Amino acid sequence: MRRFAIKGVWRLPRRLGLTVVLVAVVALATACSRPTPGIPRVWPGQSLSPNAQVRQGDTLQLTIRATNDSTNHVTGAAGSVRTYTTYPAGLRLLDFTSSDVGMLPPNDQDRAWVQEIDTTNRVVAVSFGPVGAGQQKTVTLTFAVDAPAGADLSFNTMLAWTNTVPDTFECKDIDCTPPPELTGAALASDPQVQGYVTDHPQEVQALLRSYEGGGGGLANAVAVSVSNRNETTTAPTAALLIGTPAPGGIRTTARAAFTPNEPVMLWYNLPDGRAVWINRTDALDDGSLNWLLDTADWNAIPADATSIVAHGQYSGVEARYVFNR
């Protein structure tokens, strides 16, 4: 068997064989692709004003936000950004405005506009146009409230977007390193920044994480009740933050009031008005919060602290835990 194997092998000259192997490896490398770094993720959020209750005959405003969290100004722009908002019976859409008013001329194709009002299914489709890296656009819908007292008015918004660059790039070398124009390194003119990128390639690449291309997500659900009483507020929508003793600290939970998976910032408030940062966590898939405040962080909160606040970065929702001391 050994003799047959040796006779059956076609041997290349050593130098030529090495060349063929290298060519094959490079060919494989250039044939593969990698996700494009820094492509956008657009987060939806929405809020009501007033957000506690309204009366029949009042007007109610729903503000929808689209926030692009990409920091790469080369690959991070979102192309077509659209929202689809369901609204309840007993409302009539009166007016629409957006953050593009005064920023872009009325005939600009990139300006946000109401694409469709489906009164049968009670859906308002809004085109935000493009949303650049790090940019937030808002639209505000104004409704007339015809619903009687006792009605609950709830709104749900879905957002979808497309990318302005391909989701992947073709490898040009064995390491499959993204070209500078994709990583954003070409934009870093500060020599200290360039030095940091050179010294910390893995950390920088981790920061330039890529998302799964164009996609979509749900905003935080919002609702308001119709009442005969004249009580109103435009304060941030609040949820109850519940603290429960658990192994290792205090388990803090809140209802599904946040935008699913959005970053949530946590701080505590002091009597003099100062807010002291604690940590950051993420909302769960359903928009709820379940986070363990470890024993060390809990014990570090001063005795005169008045409350703990969890603030949704894109929904604007706040959940509060009030100390009773």
Q: Does domain 238-322 have CATH number 2.60.40?
A: yes
Percent of the chain with pLDDT over 70: 70
Q: Which CATH number fits domain 1-231: 3.40.50.10240, 1.10.357.10, 2.60.40.1510, 2.40.50.100?
A: 2.60.40.1510
pLDDT digit string, tens, across residues 194-235: 554 566 556 444 433 333 346 677 888 888 889 877 555 545
Maximum Cα–Cα distance for the chain, whole Å?
98
Q: What is the mean pLDDT of residues 261-290?
A: 93
pLDDT of res. 193: 41
Please answer whether residues 255 and 220 qualify as being in contact, where contact means their C-beta atoms are separated by less than 8 angstroms.
no
- What's the confidence (pLDDT) of residue 161? 86
Residue with structure tokens 């005169």?
304
Which residue is associated with the tokens 């950051």? 280
d(C-alpha 325, C-alpha 307), whole Å: 11
pLDDT tens digits, 29-45: 445 766 776 778 899 99
Domain limits of the chain?
1-231, 238-322
Q: pLDDT tens digit string along 44-78? A: 999 999 888 899 999 999 999 999 998 888 788 88
Closest CA to 243 of 278, 199, 208: 278
Torsion over CA: 246, 259, 90, 55 (sign): positive
User: CA-CA distance, 60 to 90, in Å (whole number)?
Assistant: 12
H-helix or E-strand spanning residue 93:
strand 91-98
What digits encode the pLDDT tens for the residues 88-111? 899 999 999 999 888 888 778 788
Give the model confidence (pLDDT) of 157-205 as tens digits.
Answer: 888 888 877 766 666 666 666 555 444 444 344 443 455 456 655 644 4
Whether pTM > 0.85 for this model: the answer is no
Q: Which residue has the higher pLDDT, 193 or 119?
A: 119
Task: Name the one residue in this structure whose structure tokens are 């940062």.
Answer: 277
Per the model's pLDDT, the better-predicted residue between 119 and 197 turns out to be 119
Q: Are 1-231 and 238-322 in the same CATH fold?
A: yes
Cis peptide before 260 (omega within 30 of 0): no
